[in-house]
Amino acid sequence: MRSRRFGPFELLPESLELRREGDVVPLRPQLAKALVLLSSRPGRIVTREELRALLWADTVVDFDKSLNFVILQLRRALGDDAAHPRYVETVPRRGYRFVASMKGERARWVMPMAVKVAWVLVVVGSMVLAHRWGGGASEESGTSNVEARAAYLKGRYLLDKGARGDFEQALDYLQEAVAVDPDFAEAWLTLAHAGLRRTFITGTDGDIARAAVDRALEANPRLALAHVRLGDVRSVVDWDWEGAGRAYERALELDPELAEAHHHYASYLMIRGDVDAAVRAVELAVELDPVSVSVLGDAGWKYLYLGRIGEALTHCEKTLDLEPASAHALECLVYAHQQQGDVRAALAAARRHLETLGVDTKLGGPVSLDVYRALVLDRLEARGAGVSPVDLALAHAGVGNAPAALEHLQEAQRRRLIRLVFQIRDPRLREVRHEPDFPALVRALGVAHPL
């Protein structure tokens, strides 16, 4: 098998060796294997599932976080930039693509038979490996029933894809899993998570989440993640802040190293106005799970809300290293750069954010932040029904229409959308806070008044 040359690099697939202008580049075997697979198909997508089959065919891992970390390390070894890739490009929700031009003849990489077998198992959804989901899960939360595990994996796969049309089918698979094995706590927790995701966006399906958490706790009352989900139900569905706090604290008693518990506890502390404790919880969550897109992205926003701009920028950039098309992180980056006074950097981030919203920026990005904010509002209003009133409120606030922003915030409160509670500190709402009816809105939410 011949070597592969790209840029200043030479890759030797048989020995898993990478050289840069003749000097060996230290590369762990796992990273080298990923690079061999990616470079064997230049310009074509290598799915996340294919990489899972190659790198963890017979190993129990938290796959999503582990793969994010592998790609991050590989990019660092290559000196690559996720935002402007020269070698490895992220294809959101699908996988990665090797984009460098190859020099000379390239031999075809042949996937080992063991990997092919593992990949087939992934595709058909019949892989019955124990899977530690979201931290805090264990063998005590799993199942030995092959049929239940297969249905669970199919449901998880559809949820992770995130496609709008897959949600109902994912629920069907998860409900099938718990029907086959009613003590399958991990499946109950995933079902609860699915219900909470919809409640977060629409205010509906709270009953699904509540019932699923209750069954998970019946199956294993000492499962830390089940208490995190109980806290989520108390906050997202019930708006019971004290009940949420007690549940998160119980989760941390059971597993002090569960990043998701610290992550969600930080949001609760922000709601209660305990800023110092919230920052400590954020820092612990990041320390425990430094490659979680959700933990890093939320940390960026929390620091932005608190006016700690340097830390906001750092965490947004780390998020984008892992997921270059994260609209959540890019939008945070726009406003962090703006508050820092770096208009050029803010406009660069704004262009990338508009691309995630489907705005064609091939002819150039927005010429000003005012134009950017107007484009965001136009894009949201063009979507019609289904757009969150919280997003519309933030967009109207961005263009200076405080009365319209407040009307959408009040609509979000009537629909009990938890995002309103989490984003009440958003700096874009600064002028809206001067509206006469804003204090009444905050009182209705039962949260600490934003700074």
Query: What is the per-residue pLDDT across 216-233, written as a single tens digit (0 to 9) for each?
Result: 999 889 999 999 999 999
CB 345 within 8 A of CB 337: yes
Quick one: pLDDT at residue 314? 94
Determine the average pLDDT of the residues in 96-100.
90
Two structure tokens written together for 66: 């582990």
Question: pLDDT tier at 364 (50, 70, 90 boundaries)?
Answer: low
* pLDDT single digits (tens) 294-311: 899 999 999 998 899 999
Question: pLDDT tier at 374 (50, 70, 90 boundaries)?
Answer: very high
Two structure tokens written together for 427: 């700096």
Two structure tokens written together for 204: 């509906």
Question: pLDDT tier at 119 (50, 70, 90 boundaries)?
Answer: very low
Nearest to 62 by CA among 233, 210, 258: 258
Ranges 20-34, 53-67, 185-199, 430-444: which has the least confidence: 53-67
Query: 15 or 66: whose pLDDT is higher?
Result: 15
How far is C-alpha 356 from the geometric centre of its chain's CA atoms? 15
Quick one: pLDDT at residue 111? 43
Quick one: pLDDT at residue 233? 95
> Side-chain half-sphere of 403: how many Cα atoms within 13 Å?
0
Mean pLDDT, rounded, of the chain: 84
CB 229 within 8 A of CB 189: yes
Determine the average pLDDT of the residues in 200-219.
87
Listed as own residue / partner, the contacts of 21-30 with beta carbons closer than 8 Å and 24 or more positions apart are 25/77, 26/77, 27/77, 28/73, 30/55, 30/70
pTM value is 0.70
Ranges 55-69, 125-139, 272-286, 380-394: which has the least confidence: 125-139
Ranges 75-84, 133-142, 261-270: which has the least confidence: 133-142
pLDDT at 451 over 50: no
* pLDDT single digits (tens) 375-415: 999 999 988 777 899 999 999 999 999 999 999 999 999 98
Question: pLDDT tier at 431 (50, 70, 90 boundaries)?
Answer: very high
Two structure tokens written together for 38: 């990616």
Question: pLDDT tier at 110 (50, 70, 90 boundaries)?
Answer: very low
Listed as own residue / partner, the contacts of 211-214 with beta carbons closer than 8 Å and 24 or more positions apart are 212/178, 212/188, 213/188, 213/189
pLDDT at 125 over 50: no
pLDDT at 122 over 50: no
Angle at 234 between CA 412 and CA 133, to 5 degrees: 105
Ranges 121-130, 142-151, 386-395: which has the least confidence: 121-130
Quick one: pLDDT at residue 128? 37
Cite the DSSP H helix spans in 341-437: 343-356, 369-383, 389-398, 402-414, 418-422
Question: pLDDT tier at 450 (50, 70, 90 boundaries)?
Answer: low
pLDDT at 418 over 80: yes
Looking at residue 21, the DSSP 8-state letter turns out to be T
SS3 180: helix
* pLDDT single digits (tens) 269-328: 988 888 899 999 999 999 888 888 889 999 999 999 889 999 999 999 999 988 888 899
pLDDT at 107 over 60: no
Could you give the C-alpha distances from 87 to 38, 322, 345, in angstroms and in order?
9, 15, 24
What share of the chain in percent tops pLDDT 70? 86
pLDDT at 367 over 90: no
